[in-house]
Amino acid sequence: MPKANPTACLLVIGNEVLSGRTRDANIQFLATGLGNLGIPLREVRVIPDVPETIIATVNEVRPKFTYVFTTGGIGPTHDDITSECIAAAFGVPWEHHPVAWPRMQASYKPGEFNAARQRMATMPRGAALIENSISVAPGFQMENVYVMAGVPRIMQSMFEWLAPRLEGGAKIEMRAVHVLGLPEGIIAEGLGEVQKRYPELDLGSYPFYRASGNGVALVAKGPDGEQAEKAIAEVTELIIGFGKVPVPGEPPEV
């Protein structure tokens, strides 16, 4: 992967993923969406609703990555503390947002813009809004930190709004081949040799176990699609050399 590509870190904030109550759905969506923009996701952290942890983690990662995205903790309830923690991390006041506050106030019937909902219009000073088409409550950006909702369809809407506004890099191209009945341990050595010949690529081997048969998916990724194609052609020759049948592409989901 060329050094020129921007990088991303994702912070999944919330006890519900750590307790196993919720199976996270945001990591894969953002990993894919960011990859398509040429912004490889380099680290994910799932952290609890604990102020010291959120503040320290945000401040640890924001100088290390081009972009930091957070999901979760910006709703109206007592455990939604991401917003005030971001303010604390940046050392700025947490206050009525000049755009979000009047807009949210206007969207509720008189008396319904209560203290809980007012929290969603209270943001770190200087926050730029991240819009979405589902909820009246926006996310926000502070420097390279992008604070989004945890509810997948709201987060996805925020990311769709955000994507054309992010500066990406060379798109990561992917080519793949798979094979049934060829153990990883047999193809590993040859695969390592191919990886050595294509140091710019990231060559991965992923065994799968399915009722339709066990096998391995071999995947080449990198900014140069032609290189990835060449590497996969060499892997295909390897498979043929072991007397097996290579199947282009990734194994279908079953």
Q: Per CB under 8 A, which region of 94-102, 161-169, 199-207, 226-234 contacts its own copies?
A: 199-207
Q: Contact between 209 and its own copies (CB under 8 A)?
A: yes
**Least distance in angstroms from the C-beta of 173 to its own copies:** 12
Amino acid at 45: R
If one asks whether residue 19 binds its own copies (CB under 8 A), the answer comes out as yes
Tell the residue number behind the tokens 């990724």, with chain if given.
Answer: 221
Number of shown-chain residues binding its own copies (CB under 8 A): 62
205 binds its own copies (CB under 8 A): yes
Site for its own copies contains 20 (CB under 8 A): yes
Strand pairing class (213-222; 173-180): antiparallel
Angle between helices 184-197 and 225-241 (to 10 degrees): 140
Q: Is 111 in the site for its own copies (CB under 8 A)?
A: no
Q: By rule CB under 8 A, what string of x and - marks binding of each residue 64-83 to its own copies?
A: -----------xxxxx----
Long-range CB contacts (within 8 A, 24+) of 45-48 = 45/9, 45/10, 45/11, 45/12, 46/11, 46/12, 46/14, 46/17, 46/18, 47/11, 47/12, 47/13, 47/18, 48/13, 48/14, 48/15, 48/18
> Are the C-beta atoms of residues 220 and 233 closer than 8 Å to each other?
no
Stretch that binds its own copies, among 40-48, 121-129, 139-147, 156-164 (CB under 8 A): 40-48
Please give the residue ranges that form the binding site for its own copies (CB under 8 A). Answer: 12, 15-24, 27-33, 35, 40-48, 53, 75-79, 112, 114-117, 120, 151, 153, 172, 174, 184-186, 188-189, 191-192, 195, 202-207, 209, 219, 221, 250
